[in-house]
Structure 1
Amino acid sequence: MPENSVVVNLNQFERSRRAQVSADTLSVLHGCRDLLIEGATRVLTRQAEAMEKTLLAMAERSPLLETRNSYYSAQGILNRQANELLSACKEAFCQAFNDFAHNREKTAGGDLLELSLVDDHDFEVTLAIDKATSRLRFNCAEELVALDARMAHLLGRSDLAENDNPLGPRALCEALLDGIAKMQPEQNVRIVLLNQFDLVLTTELAGIYQSLNRHLIDRGILPDIKVGAKSRGQAGAAAQPGAPGTPAQAQASNDMFRMFEQLAHGSNPAGPAAPGLAGFSLLDSLGQLQSGSMMLPGGVRFELPVLEAATISNVLRSLQQSPVMQAVSPLDAVLVDAVAMLFDVVFEEAAIPDRLKAQIGRLQIPVLKAAMLDRNFFSQANHPVRRMLDAIATLSVHLPDNETGNARLEAISHVITGVLDSFEQDIAVFESAAAELEAMGSSLDETLEETLEASLQPDIAQIRQAERAELAPVIVHDFINRALKEQTVADSVREFLRRDWAQLLTQDYVKEGEQGAHFNSHVETMRELIWSVQPKADMDARLMLVRILPGLLKRLREGTAEIELPQKLADRFFATLVVLHANAVRPNTQPVPLPDISPEEIEDMIPAAAAEPAAPAAAEPAVPEVEDEYTQRARALNKGDWVEFHYDDGTFRWARLGWISSIKNTYLFSDQDGMNSFSIGLHRLAEKLRRGEAVLVERKSITESAFGKLMKLFRQKLGYA
């Protein structure tokens, strides 16, 4: 820009006018930097092996060679260079953070004085970072509201855009990608690794940001900030609900409590207080009701229906019909209605067995009391009470109808009894219960995974062998054709390879596959045989033939013995081979004539049983290969997903997907204990989904689903929808 220009580059101006941070501020910033990157790399190190397994599974299922290679390359980097990779990511983040702290941020687009096209590779990288950033920001929405405000205060700014926070998800994702790039993998491999890092951090980053906020609070940086006071949609007021990067669910939960207040102020659902109930406090009396009954003013005893372990009953509906509700505040009445609706939705959830719903039902009064004590219950997806309910629901898949399932149900009941006995006002009771149930679920998942890894191996080997048997004729034919391509070979050799040696290759392929040692050895023997009968014009080639011939003949005889080639046919072939080798090394162009043999003679030498093809095994009735939403649902299944299969007699069972064949799209399922397994093809599974004979079991948060339905119901009450 000319020296006498009056045009000011606003980016440069903003950086130049910002004051240098003080030494104390810089010390706090460095502490935050270290907490974030150390926490993130510690999580990634701990999950490195899990990421490797995920990448291998994705590679096995990918139909495209290029995509498979990307997954394998990413897995190889994690396997051999994980420490080096994470050190590079850590170094990249620290460098970027230090540049920010010392006013050395990189500019976005240089001087922004000209437009240029973005190539496809840059666009893919930008898109990958945007997606990763949006996912992390959504899952850490509560924590980032406070962190953005504290960082703005620390840096002396009035506000800080969400992508300008040097500790935010955007800065972290860009640094991770820069660190990955230092390992010099191809761009698609970088994106694969970034996606894996993002998926791992999605569940862990919120806890790291919580520690960052505590670190800043301990140093006096906005200790009294009200988390959630800043509008989540402030960064983009025009953004639609559910748009990428918009924490729509967290916003919906906050909106829900505002709806409760509107309903309470707009009407008086409790009605006039009953005589003698003035000053009555529902919250104070819920402790008594939790034990079975409460005393009303005047000595009247009120009891709820008895909750037994085998019954499902929404006792909060009984509470709403009782005289108690005549004395509660309008807001408390709305809260009782909301929690009652929550349990209505949970009890309607088809994926939860009735005997587990009965256990969840025992928690109705404690959950109501917790919701009245801590209204974050309605705004925090990871609230301890909600975590406990979700943890119980996810254990549904581990409750087979047998002695093992009964023992697990008893363990769940024991945890719930502990909450009923000990909960008064400390929400931490739910925290420890949720942690115990989550640990139980993780342990059962790991045990089931280990059981399946061992028990499914014979089935997987059998399916793979059956699939290879179907493909073997095509594969072997292709290998032989490529070996013979543009080669001048006697008809007797061609006939031997296509008729006899093909049997050996087929056996090898069915047993071991294309990478098997025997298959590759016999392919190499075939290539040596073809080379050995070619004319040898120079002395080096002739000497080479003399060196390899004993071993070649030995391998050929072993191969013909393995397929039990009739002795007369084998003798005839090796006699012909002697002549072919002699002709190959003759210096003149007059070859020795080959012994004649008619097709009829060859047929006489081959046993009748070998000449007749085996009768094909009876196959299942063909299923139309329809491509629709049900086929897509079947394709989208991943290892570990659960499906509920329904049968004509009205029974059903849950089955866990343990393996997917990459060749024929065969799905291998096992039962809830991993003891029994069965396989099913892609299109047959899609047909069952289409008919309702199979239903996908979504292991999602029941409280999140319930609050979504709750939100809709209350919006309808207020006339919003």
Structure 2
Amino acid sequence: MMKLRLGVSDDPTALQPSLSDCLGAMLKQAEALMQQVLQGLELGTSATGPQRLAPLQAPQVRAAVLGLEGKAAAVKHSFVKELTRLVYEGGGKDQTATEVLRFQDLQLFEDEELDQSIEIARAQQEVVLAVDDTLPPLDALISTMLGWRTIQPGLNPLRPEVFVRALQHTLAEHVAETGAREVLITPAAGLLGVNLRKLYRELADWLRSTGVEPAVPVGGRINRATGASGAPVTDTVAKTLLTLDRLRKLLAGDFDQPRKAEFLHTMPASMALLQDLKKTDELVKRLEQRKKPVVVVEQPVDMLADAAREPPATGRIGQQLGEEVVRLMFDNLLEDRRLLPTLKRELKVLEPAVHRLTKEDSRFFSDRNHPARQLLDRIIQRSLAFPSEEDAGWPRFLESLQSVSRWLESKVMDADTFGEMLDELQAQWTEQDQGARQKREEAARALLHAEQRNLLAQKLASDFADSLGGLDVADFIRDFLKNAWAQVVAEAQLSCEDGSPDPYGYRAMVDDLIWSVQKTTAQRGRARRLVQMIPGLLQRLREGLGRIGYPQELTQRFFDHLITLHRAAVQEGRDASIQAAADAAWSEQSQFPEGAEEDLQLWLDSSEAQESGFIEEEADLDTDYAASPEAPRQEALRAEQDTSRARQVPSQAPQAEAQAGLVPEDLRIGAWVEIRIKGDWVRAQLTWCSPHATLFMFTSIGGAAHSMSRRTMEKLRTGGQLRVVAERPVVDEALDQVARAALKNSVGRPPE
């Protein structure tokens, strides 16, 4: 399939493939891959033989296999077409529930959608088990080709899930009978996995033979919901997980029919949260194994003796589920390594109060805006702003938690009680954050003005470029007009209150500047006019740059060359040394390669940079760290200590919606990151993004701002100096992880 570059005389890197070459090589094998799956299914339907498969012997299944064989060309075409689409979309935006399943969405799933998710998960398990040994090396090589220094398995466009989804799509298109398709998906995925394993190995060998170096693993795989290191690839699907069918039956009362009506009103709430917790399999087993209550004829009892007895072993099943859910929820939070030990102790103190609440208020399970849920979420979110208990603000935060503990002794523990606790905490935090909020707003205003100026400058630069079209002008003049002077004119227009398009005449000066440096300009009387024009022109140029505080060092080259050209023009070639210097200045190439102008135009003046903590790309990137051989080991150690969180800032919600598609998926407003700046790791939250997503501002809990351009942010991420440690609220992440685990864990057991 792929030619290995071997031999002493060969230069492995001479014909090193691109990512596109790699994807194309794999897609060329897609038709043959599907052909092998079809052949395997056909052999599996044989009445006898070593490759006979019992599940394929049913008449409707055999008929489905024969139907696939009869239209093999169409089946292979569908598979190749869908696989190509998914690969070039990086996995596609319509990802299956096995990848993007979220707790709050699970209860909205129709039966057909849930069954399809389980169907795909079963297939995925078969494929991943088959490629377990060949996938990690390929992930490392593909990550390098994607530009990452560390392994990013989820970004591999050839990951197993993509092939599974293409297979599922193909079977759904060509096998109409649902029951037959459900039987076929697992053996078909097994055949796909066996052959895909060979392709993965061959593709990895090919890439290594051409000199592609594998990316570096960093601290194992990170489970963002718990902050814990992951295990090998198979661990995510190989274990037997909670069966959604069984859980739904249990919560619908199928295991306790006589008492169904008694707890019906609590079931949707408990179900929603049960599907988000890690240890629900244990809960389901325990509840199923409990003895059913025996109905007996009522007998007179001694009330005093009855009061002294132990409570019945089994109470209302709905209440039991609620109690178990709360206990498991707190167990899950206490296992989260991002939570500091002192906070976990405070959560343990809070747990009995939540138990008391849920006995009377089942809305806790289903309503994300329930005051008790909000209280837990806000406490955890704020705590994760502190990397350690030694941080200066941690004692004050802990004191605020302890100040509301008096509510826990209240005889009535209802939603209003938790609402009062939340209001008290929020009032304290608002007062503490007042100064930081003011700094953040001032920084955001400065950055917003900078983006507006830069966007306007880009438009002006395009206009200036059109004005220069067809004219014989030196590159350094083009550079100056499209960068520094475009900023000057843009700032003048933005600062003008009467709406004048050229309040200081800076734009009109462009024509004079261009005329003064053209080689083809008519020479008659030119020297005399230049002598009159040059002093005022230079003065106005410096004045305009001074208005925006443009650094002199960025324009010194321009003025040196401009003065040289003017001197040569005035001398009219009589001074050979001056003319030679002018010719040299004229021949210098542009400092801004074509196509890079948009990135290089982004500039902030000194006041804007200071207010927003702007990180200059060249000045502040920790290049020594990024290049250090110790970096991978240090990254691994840091990964083990990740203690970050994310929260959605309510005031930023509309902005976040407007920026959909502009901001990276894992860097939405509220995402928590760690940034390495000048040798130190800084914990900060993405609190603001400019409307056009050209500028980003991260803020620490103390209010210190760290802003940067998109270019700088991407460079930091590529170099491993900015990493997202929590992009969503911790509670939501934990619930989502368990919802996906519940789905994947369903594949090990047949539906009941």
TM-score, reference length from structure 2 = 0.37
**Larger Rg: 1 or 2?**
1
Tell me which of the two structures has the higher relative contact order, counting C-alpha pairs closer than 8 angstroms and 6 or more residues apart: 2
